[in-house]
């Protein structure tokens, strides 16, 4: 049996919306909170950082496993802000997948930092 899910951190799930700039009429992308400060479990995947050099800049990739209640909708085109990790913004790269207890889902997140 899998370990129980510990909902001990907060996260905000956002989706991209497209609007029009009132002055120029161009499309403007914004992120809108779908679920604000929900309880979750966020666990960094080891090794937590994969560092590469792209165009002369060092880029670190961080992957995190996110577990939330199944009633909360999440899709790959959304993004997640992990508040317990310094408001780290991450993209959804896979999931959601149901866990063994059938009341929680899990997805993989990926974030970047340049250093």
Write the pLDDT tens digit of every residue in 48-102.
556 666 667 777 788 999 999 998 889 999 999 999 878 999 999 998 888 888 8
Give strand pairing partners of 16. 31
Other beta carbons less than 10 A from residue 43's beta carbon? 14
Distance from C-alpha of 2 to C-alpha of 9, rounded to nearest angstrom: 20
- Is the separation of the CB atoms in 75 and 97 below 8 Å? no
Task: Sketch the domain layout of the chain as residue ranges.
Answer: 9-114
- How much is the pLDDT for 5? 81
Distance from C-alpha of 50 to C-alpha of 71, rounded to nearest angstrom: 32
- Is the separation of the CB atoms in 36 and 49 below 8 Å? no
Write down the CATH number for the domain with range 9-114.
2.40.10.270
What pTM was estimated for this model as a whole? 0.81
Give strand pairing partners of 39. 10
- How much is the pLDDT for 89? 94
Distance from C-alpha of 107 to C-alpha of 75, rounded to nearest angstrom: 9
């Amino acid at each position: 049996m899998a370990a129980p899910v510990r909902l001990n951190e907060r996260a905000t799930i956002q989706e991209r919306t497209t609007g029009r700039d009132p002055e120029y009429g161009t499309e403007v992308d914004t992120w809108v909170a779908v679920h604000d400060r929900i309880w979750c479990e966020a666990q960094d995947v080891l090794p937590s950082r994969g560092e590469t050099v792209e165009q002369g800049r060092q880029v670190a990739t961080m992957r995190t496993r996110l577990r939330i209640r199944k009633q909360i909708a999440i899709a790959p085109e959304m993004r997640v802000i992990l508040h317990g990790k310094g408001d780290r913004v991450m993209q959804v790269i896979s999931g959601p997948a149901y866990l063994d207890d059938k009341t929680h889902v899990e997805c993989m997140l990926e974030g970047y930092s340049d250093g």
